[in-house]
Every structure is written in structure tokens, then in C-alpha cells.
Homo-oligomer: A and B are copies of this chain.
């Protein structure tokens, strides 16, 4: 910790009321040594399979792959090309990473009061030990510092994994992935625990990009030729078993809506055959996705993999950007999301079975108090995931605690996950969560809603234990 850092107080993010701040600080510091449990995220396992892997330049690390960062600059008129974001058609983009860094620094004020601003500040201070604030004047000097650090052996990914005190890191991997990098990590003798997560979106959603190719790949990796719905299901079961053998404890599912509904066996077969033949008029992607969510719950009952559902993002809203730059360019926009009726078929069939754990996420905060907390406060198989994406922020967490906990109760929630592809931001993100948790609990203590022994137990749960239990990582 760096108590002299600008905007980087030991007390940061705590309520200024002395009664709350002091309790929050105590709770936070008691939990400070607890290793990080990261049960859901998008870090590339390649960083750890090759013992000599590096993060590239400061721009490679902080800007070019991070849609949280470049979407904010784009919103203020900065062209993505000037930030080095690659074009799909190969049109050259800015290659001078110092220029990219300078643009970023020139616009760093855009991140005032944002979670990206908090994470970036934490990374610069804590991971790279940069004492000066980032701005136009300091840009190149800070670039030099980071570049020098990144060349040091202590800044190799495996070393940082250890320094970050990560107990377990879960990646997210397509159903068709061979998990070769996970294999290499396991065989390397290095004892960092990195496990895959089974994500079948590319094969269960007909409208996924390259769905047909993905099916061929599924046949190939599963060694089960997918020629009909039955072989499709067998191939998925094979992949789940393989992921489980590689340490996976969970699956992950994205969908535009959380609709669930079972097709009859004949409907499932006909719909799947239509899609296989490319006859989109009868393939009905939405209904098939709704059906497959139920199938996935059924498989989870049987193989014990925890099921995660991340609905409600309208992907690639900006078609101009999608055509030029592809997926994940900061143009995914939430939509209103309904859970009570949507999940009815799945919950009526499987929701009372304690073998199933279904962790729900939302991008529609109105569902917290109205639908998700009441559902999680009733069904044994349901847990609520932490605030997601835009809401993985101080205010987002405060609203989550405020709107979820009274009805769901703490023990129907699943702790924190960082959901990030930015490996070096993991400590920052967990730090924000731990501080927000400590601050919430301290507010309850200060108002005599809970006492300190409750608060200590709840802090331990929020820091790591809820996540470990929910994701069956203990």
C-alpha cells in the first residue's frame, strides 16, 4: 500500500462518517490477507502456459484489448484506429504504442469517478509503483516506468499470479476448446490453480457467429459426429466430462433473454436439423436457446457443474463499429430483462433440486429487488451473482447490497467475481469489492442492525467463502 499516493488513501471508498469508517477499516484489514478467489473471468490461459509469456507494451496491457477503456475515449470522439484497435479488414491502425499511450493520458480525466479510473489508478500505484498522476505531461515518463517493469522477471504472469495471492482463477472457454493451455499449465509443475469453465454459447445458439463451423469443431474435438440432436447432446456431455476432468467446476451461458422452455423431443430434433441444413426459416434460434438452457440445467444436475446465466446484453449495437472492428468493442448495451416468468419452466423442473446450483446475473438492476432477490430467497438451487459489468463499481455494489440483501439474504448470493480479461486489474477489482463490502457491513454495524461478530463472519463470507462454496471450489 502507498499511503502517500494521490487519490490513493488507505481509507479510500469508505464512508467519511467516523463510526462507519473505523469499523470498515477494521473489517477490511482483517480480510486483507485472504487469497483471491476468482471464479469467473476471461483471462487468457496462454499467459500462464508459457513460462516466458509477457504482457507486451503498456498500450497492449492497458488500452488496446480493453473495451472498458477505449469505449470511453471513443464516446468522446477518439477514433479506435488511433488507439491501435485492429480492423477486421486489415486496414493499418496506429502502431506507435507511445502515441496511443499519449492519447490515453491526454484523456485520462474522462475516467474521473468511474470504476475504470479506480482500477487503472490502483494498477499504476500498486502493481507498477507509479507515484505520479497520469496526465499529458507525465505520459511518457510513466510509459517508461511500466515498460521497464514489464521487462523484469517479477512481472511475468506466473510471478504476478503469485504476488497477487490468487488461490484459484477460472477462465472461460468455448465448448470446442481443447484446453491445451490448461493441459500445459497442469503438466508444467507450476502450482498456480487455473481451471477452465465450459461455455457452449457458440454451439447452442444458432445465431452465434460461425455456428456451423463450431458444430464441425465440436464433432472433431468430441470425436462424436454431430449429425442430429441426439449426437449433439452426446457431444456436449462428452465435452462437459472433459472440462470436468480438467478441473472445471462450472459452466457459463449468455443469452439475450433468460427465457427457458422445453421443446418436445421431436421439436428439438426438427429444429436442430433445420439449423444443421442452414434452413433458418424453421430453426428458431430463440426457442432452441431457451430449450438448451433447460438441457444444461439437466446436465448440471447430473454432473455437478455449477451453471451461470448472464442474460440481457444486446450485443454489437453499433453496426458500423461491428463491421469495422468486430465483437467486444464497447457497443454491447443492456435491455430490460424479465426473470419471473422467463425462468418458470426451468425452476419448476429443477429449481427444488439441491444438486443444481444456478447463479444468475443481470444488467437490469430493476430486477434485483423485484425478481432476483425474491427468487433466490425461495428456490434452493438459485444464487445471485455479484453486480456485473457496468455495475461492477462502487455505486453499483452499494445498490446491490441495498436492493438484494434484505430479501435474498447474504447466503443466497455468490460472493464476488471479477469477470475480467485484464489480468493486472484483478487485485484492484477485488479490492473495490472488499472495501465496498466492509463499508456496507460497517453501515449495518453503525446502525445496530448487525453486531461486530456478525460483521466479521459476513466479511469472511463476502471476501472468498461465498464464492468458493457457490462455485464448489473448496
Contact = CB atoms under 8 A, between A and B. Distances in A.
Given A378-B74, A405-B113, A15 B447 contact: yes
A407 B330 CA distance: 11
Contacts of A16: 17, 19-20, 446-447
Interface string A360-401: 000111100111011111111010000000110111100100
Nearest to A383: B75
Given A320-B348, A403-B395, A338 B336 contact: yes
A326 interface: no
A412 B78 CA distance: 13
Given A19-B16, A334-B374, A75 B366 contact: no
Q: List the 8 shortest-distance A-B pairs measured between CB atoms, nearest first.
A: A12-B448, A16-B446, A16-B19, A9-B448, A393-B406, A390-B407, A334-B370, A333-B340
A279 interface: no
Contacts of A444: 113
A378 B318 contact: yes
29 contacts: A11-B448, A12-B449, A13-B447, A71-B377, A71-B378, A72-B409, A75-B377, A75-B378, A75-B382, A77-B354, A109-B411, A112-B409, A113-B405, A114-B406, A314-B340, A317-B347, A318-B351, A318-B352, A333-B340, A334-B371, A334-B374, A335-B341, A335-B371, A336-B370, A365-B370, A369-B391, A373-B390, A374-B390, A399-B402
Contacts of A7: 448-451, 454
B365 A72 contact: no
A374 B333 CA distance: 6
A115 interface: yes
Contacts of A331: 378
B115 A447 contact: no
